[in-house]
C-alpha cells in the first residue's frame, strides 16, 4: 500500500512538472508571438531609429568620416580595451548564422527588394546604436583594477534607480545567450554534416558528435586556459573577426568580378522589387518591406542593448566616440556582410537555387560561384561566424551575471553551462531553447528601447560637445 502511495505521489509530481513546463512553453510562445509575430518589436525599433536620426541630425551621414577615424585611432588605456577591440567584439556578436540564413530567408519570402529595406533600416538604426552605446559609457562602473563594466542593466540602475528592472534585463540576456549558443553550435555541425557524412552510421563516432565536442573544448580553452596577456576572449576575437571578414569579402569580390555583366541587372532588380508596381498591386509590397526591415533590425541588433556590454568596457573618456564605433558596426553588419550574402544568392541562376531555402540555398549558390570550393568554404565560414558569436555572448554574459551578483563562482557556472550548451546544441535541435533565444532578445529589446528614449539627453549632449571639439 505504501509502495502504491509513493508511486502515486511521484506520478502526481511528474504530472505537475509536465504541466509547469507546458505553462512555460505557452508563456514563451505567447510572448514571442506578440513581440515577433505581431511585429511589435519592428515598429518599436523603427520608431526609435527614426526618432534618434532626427535628434542627432542624421549624424550617421554627417559624421561618417569622423566615425571611421575614431575607429582606427584605436585609443586604449592600461586596463581598458580599445575602440577597435570593442568594434571586433560587437561585430562578432552581430555577425553569425543569421547574416546568412536570415538574409536568405528575407530574399526567399520578400524577394530581392527586401535588401533595399534592409539597407535603409541599417542606416537609420545606426543612430540607435550610437545613443545606447554612448549611454553605456556614461553610466558604466569602474572596477578596482581600473577596468570598466557596464551595459543596459547598469544604465537602468544608475540613471533610473531601478535595480529590479536591470536584473530582469540581465536575466533575459543570459537566457538569450544560452539559446544563441545552441543555435550557433547547431549551425556549425549542420553545415559540416550537410557536406560530409563520415561516421553517419555510428552513434558516437560521427562528425556531428565529434565536431560538437571539438567546438566546446576550443571555447573552453579560450575562456579558462588561454594564457593571453589581456582578456582571452578579446584577444581571440582580435584574430578571428578580421580574418573571417577578409575571407568573406575576398570571396564576394571574386564573385562580383566574375559576374560583372550581371551586376547592373541585380541592382535594378533590388530597386524595382523594392518599389515595384507589381509588388504594390500584387499585395506583396508589405512582405517585401517587412522582411527586409525585420532581418535588418534583427541582424544588426541596434536597439537590443547587446553591444552596450562591449561599449562600456572601452577606455574612451568621450562617450560619443564609442557611440560612433558601435554605429559603424551596424553599417558593417548590414551594408557589408548581409549585402555580401544577398549578392551571392541573387547572382546565382534561378535554375540552381529554385526550390531551395535556408542554408541549402546558400550552399547551392556558393557551390555554383566557387565550384568545388563552395561547400567547404561555407563550412569554414559558418565555423568562424558562429564561434565568434559564441565567444562574444560569453563576454556579454559575464557582465550580465556580474550585475545580478558579483560572484566569481556564479560566473564560472555561467561559462560552464554555456560550454555544455555548445555540445547539446551541436548534437540536436531543441526548438524550445531556440525559442528562449527569441524570448530573451525580445524582452531585452523592449526594456532597452523604453529606457533609452527618455534618457537620451546625456548622449546627445556628448555628441554636441564632441562636434564642437572637431571644429
Number of DSSP helices (H) and strands (E) in the chain, helices first? 23, 2
Residue 94 has pLDDT above 70, yes or no: no
pLDDT at position 74 over 90: no
Give tens-digit pLDDT for 305-329.
888 887 787 777 788 888 888 888 7
User: Between 434 and 153, where is the model more confident?
Assistant: 153
With a cut of 90, say whether residue 167 has pLDDT above it: yes
Question: Residue 188 in contact with residue 383, Cβ under 8 Å?
Answer: yes
Q: What distance in Å separates the CA atoms of residue 409 and residue 21, rounded to the nearest whole number?
A: 28
- Residue-wise pLDDT tens digits, 28-55: 778 777 777 777 887 888 889 899 999 9
pLDDT at 200: 62
The residue ranking higher by pLDDT, 402 or 291, is: 402
Give residue 454's pLDDT: 93
pLDDT given at position 160: 92
CA distance 390 to 392: 5
How large a percentage of the chain has pLDDT more than 90? 10
Instruction: Check residues 285 and 408 and name the one with the higher pLDDT.
Output: 408
Q: What is the CATH number of domain 39-470?
A: 1.20.1740.10
Q: Does 346 or 110 have the greater pLDDT score?
A: 346
What DSSP string runs through 117-167? Answer: HHHHHHHHHHHHHHHHHHHHHHT-EE-TTS-EE-SHHHHHHHHH--HHHHH
pLDDT of 447 strictly over 90: yes
Whether the predicted pLDDT of 240 surpasses 90 = no
Using the predicted structure, report yes or no on whether residue 245 has a pLDDT greater than 90: no
Query: For every residue of 91-102, which 3-state class applies, written as one string?
Result: HHHHCCCHHHHH
Q: What is the pLDDT of residue 9?
A: 47
Residue 227 in this model has a pLDDT that exceeds 70 = no
Hey, what's the cell of 342? 544577398
Q: Which of 155, 105, 128 is nearest to 50 (CA)?
A: 128
The yes-or-no verdict on residue 384 having pLDDT over 80 is: yes
Compute φ and ψ for 455, nearest 5 degrees.
-115, 25
* Cβ atoms of residues 135 and 449 within 8 Å: no
Q: What are the residue boundaries of the structural domains of the chain, listed by start?
A: 39-470
In this predicted structure, the answer to whether residue 373 has a pLDDT above a threshold of 70 is yes
C-alpha distances (whole Å) from 445 to each of 122, 320, 441, 449, 450 are: 16, 22, 6, 6, 8
Regarding pTM above 0.75, the answer is: yes
Range in 114-123, 222-231, 346-355, 403-412 the model is least confident about? 222-231
Report DSSP state, residue 314: B
Amino acid at each position: 500500500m505504501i509502495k502504491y502511495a509513493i508511486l502515486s505521489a511521484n506520478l502526481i509530481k511528474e504530472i505537475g512538472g509536465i504541466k509547469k513546463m507546458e505553462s512555460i512553453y505557452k508563456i514563451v510562445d505567447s510572448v514571442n508571438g506578440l513581440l515577433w509575430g505581431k511585429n511589435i518589436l519592428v515598429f518599436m525599433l523603427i520608431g526609435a531609429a527614426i526618432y534618434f536620426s532626427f535628434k542627432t541630425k542624421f549624424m550617421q551621414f554627417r559624421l561618417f568620416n569622423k566615425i571611421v577615424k575614431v575607429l582606427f585611432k584605436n585609443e586604449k588605456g592600461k586596463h581598458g580595451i580599445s575602440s577597435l577591440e570593442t568594434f571586433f567584439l560587437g561585430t562578432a556578436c552581430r555577425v553569425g548564422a543569421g547574416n546568412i540564413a536570415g538574409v536568405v530567408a528575407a530574399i526567399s519570402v520578400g524577394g530581392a527588394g527586401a535588401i533595399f529595406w534592409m539597407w535603409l533600416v541599417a542606416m537609420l538604426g545606426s543612430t540607435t546604436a550610437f545613443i545606447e552605446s554612448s549611454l553605456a559609457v556614461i553610466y558604466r562602473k569602474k572596477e578596482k583594477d581600473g577596468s570598466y563594466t557596464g551595459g543596459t542593466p547598469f544604465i537602468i540602475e544608475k540613471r533610473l534607480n531601478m535595480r529590479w528592472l536591470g536584473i530582469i534585463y540581465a536575466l533575459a540576456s543570459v537566457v538569450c545567450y544560452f539559446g544563441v549558443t545552441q543555435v550557433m553550435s547547431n549551425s556549425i555541425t549542420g553545415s559540416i554534416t550537410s557536406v560530409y557524412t563520415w561516421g553517419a552510421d555510428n552513434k558516437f563516432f560521427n562528425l556531428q558528435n565529434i565536431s560538437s565536442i571539438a567546438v566546446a573544448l576550443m571555447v573552453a580553452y579560450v575562456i579558462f586556459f588561454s594564457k593571453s596577456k589581456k582578456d582571452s576572449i578579446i584577444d581571440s576575437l582580435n584574430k578571428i573577426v578580421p580574418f573571417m571578414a577578409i575571407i568573406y569579402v575576398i570571396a564576394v569580390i571574386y564573385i562580383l568580378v566574375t559576374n560583372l555583366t550581371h551586376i547592373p541587372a541585380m541592382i535594378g532588380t533590388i530597386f524595382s522589387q523594392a518599389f515595384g508596381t507589381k509588388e504594390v498591386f500584387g499585395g506583396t509590397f508589405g512582405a517585401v518591406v517587412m522582411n527586409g526591415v525585420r532581418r535588418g533590425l534583427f541582424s544588426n541588433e541596434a536597439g537590443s542593448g547587446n553591444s552596450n556590454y562591449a561599449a562600456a568596457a572601452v577606455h574612451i573618456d568621450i562617450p560619443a566616440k564609442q557611440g560612433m564605433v558601435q554605429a559603424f558596426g551596424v553599417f558593417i553588419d548590414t551594408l557589408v556582410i548581409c549585402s555580401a550574402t544577398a549578392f551571392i544568392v541573387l547572382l546565382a541562376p534561378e535554375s540552381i537555387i529554385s526550390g531551395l531555402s535556408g542554408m541549402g540555398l546558400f550552399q547551392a549558390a556558393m557551390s555554383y560561384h566557387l565550384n568545388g570550393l563552395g561547400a567547404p568554404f561555407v563550412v569554414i565560414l559558418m565555423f568562424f561566424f558562429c564561434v565568434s558569436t559564441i565567444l562574444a555572448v560569453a563576454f556579454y554574459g559575464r557582465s550580465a551575471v556580474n550585475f545580478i551578483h558579483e560572484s566569481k563562482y556564479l560566473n564560472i557556472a555561467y561559462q560552464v553551462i554555456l560550454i555544455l550548451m555548445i555540445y547539446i546544441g551541436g548534437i540536436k535541435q531543441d526548438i524550445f531553447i531556440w525559442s528562449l533565444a527569441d524570448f530573451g532578445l525580445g524582452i531585452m529589446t523592449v526594456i532597452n528601447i523604453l529606457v533609452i528614449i527618455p534618457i537620451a539627453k546625456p548622449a546627445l549632449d556628448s555628441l554636441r560637445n564632441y562636434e564642437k571639439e572637431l571644429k
